[in-house]
Amino acid sequence: MSTSDLSQSSMSQSNIAMIGLGVMGKSLALNLLDQGFNVTGFDISEAHRERAESEAKELAQKVDKGSFFKAADLNQVLDSLVKPRVIALSVPAGSIVEAVIDDLLAAGLEQDDIVIDTGNSLWTDTEARELQYRGKLRFFSTAVSGGEVGARTGPALMASGDKEAWNYVQPMWEAISAKVDENGLPVGQFEKGEPCAAYLGPAGAGHYVKMVHNGIEYADMQLICEVYHFMSDVLAMSAQEIGEVFAKWNQGVLNSYLMEISADILQTLDPTTQKPFVEVVLDKAGQKGTGLWTAVNSLQEGAPAPTIAQAVFARAQSSQKAVRVQGAKVLRTHVQPNCGKAKQETIEELHDALYCAKLSVYAQGFDLMKATSIKEGWDLDFAHIAKIWRAGCIIRAVFLQDITKAYQSDAELSNLLFANRFVEEVHERSCGWRAVVANSALTGVPMPAISSALGYFDSLRCEVLPANLLQAQRDYFGSHTYSRVDSDEQNKFHITWSETPRVEVEA
C-alpha cells in the first residue's frame, strides 16, 4: 500500500487515530497531518483535544495537509477510521495500555484492526500484550525516539510485531520519520531521503532496541558530562570556553545531537542572574528507568555493559546531594595537579578519550542486542538499526554511518570494536584515553563512565583474565568446580581442599 493510496482516502474517514494527545501524541499527529494523512485524535483531557484541534486548524490553512477529526469518545474513534483500523496509542507505559485496549474492544474493535503502542513500554510487557490480544486484534508496537521535536518533524521509529500489520503502517511511518541523504546525514522534514523507520522483528524487538538506545543515551550523556567536569575543575575553563570547544568538536568525528546541545547549553546565560545557565542548575539528575532496564538486562544476559551501568549509578549518586556535601568536608585524599601538561594537549586527550569511550559504549550496546537477539530468535539486523539511528533520535551521530558500514561489511561481527576502521581509530587515540583516565585518578575528578569504558576495552583485548583465580576461589569455598586449560572445557573438576593430601577429582 503506497503513501498516496493512504492519503487519498475519503475526507470523511481517517487513515489513523492517535489516542493520547499529550506532548508526543500531539506531535506525531501533527507530523502525520503534515505528510497528508487524515488523523482522528482522542484524549480523555478536553484541553489536550482542544489544543490538538487548534494546531491542526493552523496546518489546514496550508496546502496538501491531512484533515483532523476530534473524537469525543472511542466509538467516534472507531467510526471515523477506514478498515482495517489503525490506532496508535501515546499513553503512559503500564496498565493504562491494557485499559485503553480493553475499552477499544468494548467499543467494537475487530480482529483485523491494528493497535500500535508508541509509548516507552518495557519490551517484555510488549511481548505479553501480543500474546494477550492475539486473535482479538493485531497488536503492534513502535518505539519512538527524538523527543517532542523529533516526533513533530521526524523521529526514529523502531517497529515490531505482526508483519502483516507493518504493510499498513509502513507508508505512514516512513513518511513521518527522519530521513538521511546518501552520506547518512540528516535532511529536512520535507526533503527526500532514506527513512529512519524500520520493522525490526517480532513483538518486543522494537521496544527492546529502543531500551538499549536509551541505555547508550545515558552513557553518552555521562561521558560528555565527565569531560565537562574535568575541563571545569582541572583546566579551570569557563562554561563558555568549554561550550566553544564542544562546538568545535561537533564539526568533526564527535558530531552528534548530544554534543550539539551540550555546546549550546554551556554557552547559554541564565535569564535571571546572567550567570552561565549550567551553573545555576542543581547537580541532581533524574531518570525514568530505561537506563536501569538496560543495565539490569545486561546482567541477566551476561553481556557486559559496564559503562551503561556506571551512567545509571552516576545519576543515582548525583541524587545524594546531602551526602556529597558532607563527603566534600570530611573525606580527605592526596591529589595532584594536571601533571604539568599544556592545556591544549589535555584538551586533545579529552577529545580522544571521549571518542574512544563513546565507541566502547556502542560496542557494549550492540553486543547486548546481539545476545538477546540470539536468545529470542529475533535475527536483528544491526546495520539496519545503526541506519535508523542516524537521524531523528537522541543518540544520532555522524559515526553511526561508520557503524552501519561495519555491519554491512560483516553482519556477524563478534564485537563492534573489532571492525577494521575502529581498530585503527582506537589504536591511534588510545594514548589520550589512557592519559585522561590516569589524570582523573591523580586529580581526584571522578570519571566512572570513561574509566569503565576503558576497562571494557582492556578486558576485551586480554586473552587471559584473572578469572582463573576467581573460579578457584569459588571451588575452594563452595565446591563450584572448574575447567582445566589442558582438558575439554566441558569436563569439570574439584580439589578436595579440606583434606590432606589434597587431590583433584572429576566432578
* Residues with Cβ within 8 Å of residue 61, at least 6 apart in sequence: none
* Residues with Cβ within 8 Å of residue 186, at least 6 apart in sequence: 178, 179, 180, 390, 391, 392, 396
* Whether the Cβ atoms of residue 330 and residue 259 lie closer than 8 Å to each other: no
C-alpha cell at 272: 535571571
In degrees and rounded to multiples of 5, residue 14 shows phi and psi of -100, 150
Beta strands at 16-19 and 86-89: parallel, antiparallel or unpaired = parallel
Whole-angstrom Cα distance, residue 28 to residue 154? 9
- Counting runs of H as helices and runs of E as strands, what totals does the chain give? 20, 12
> What percent helix, strand, coil does the chain show, rounded to 5?
55, 10, 35
Catalytic residue, from 194, 217, 349, 425: name it. Answer: 217
C-alpha cell at 190: 520535507
Active site (annotated) includes residue 241: no
Whole-angstrom Cα distance, residue 256 to residue 258? 5
In degrees and rounded to multiples of 5, residue 147 shows phi and psi of 70, -165
DSSP letters spanning 127-144: HHHHHHTTTTSEEEEEEE
Residue holding cell 578519550? 353
Catalytic residue, from 26, 70, 210, 387: name it. Answer: 210
* Residues with Cβ within 8 Å of residue 484, at least 6 apart in sequence: 491, 493
- Tell me which residue of 492, 497, 494, 491 sits closest to 505, measured CA to CA: 494
Beta strands in 47-105 (DSSP E): 68-70, 86-89
Beta strands in 30-93 (DSSP E): 39-42, 68-70, 86-89
- 421-430 long-range contacts (CB < 8 A, ≥24 apart) are 422/359, 425/355, 425/356, 425/359, 426/356, 426/359, 426/457, 429/352, 429/353, 429/355, 429/356, 430/352, 430/356
Active site (annotated) includes residue 217: yes
Q: Identify the bridge partners of residue 17 per DSSP, sorted by sequence position.
A: 40, 87
Catalytic annotation, residues: 210, 217
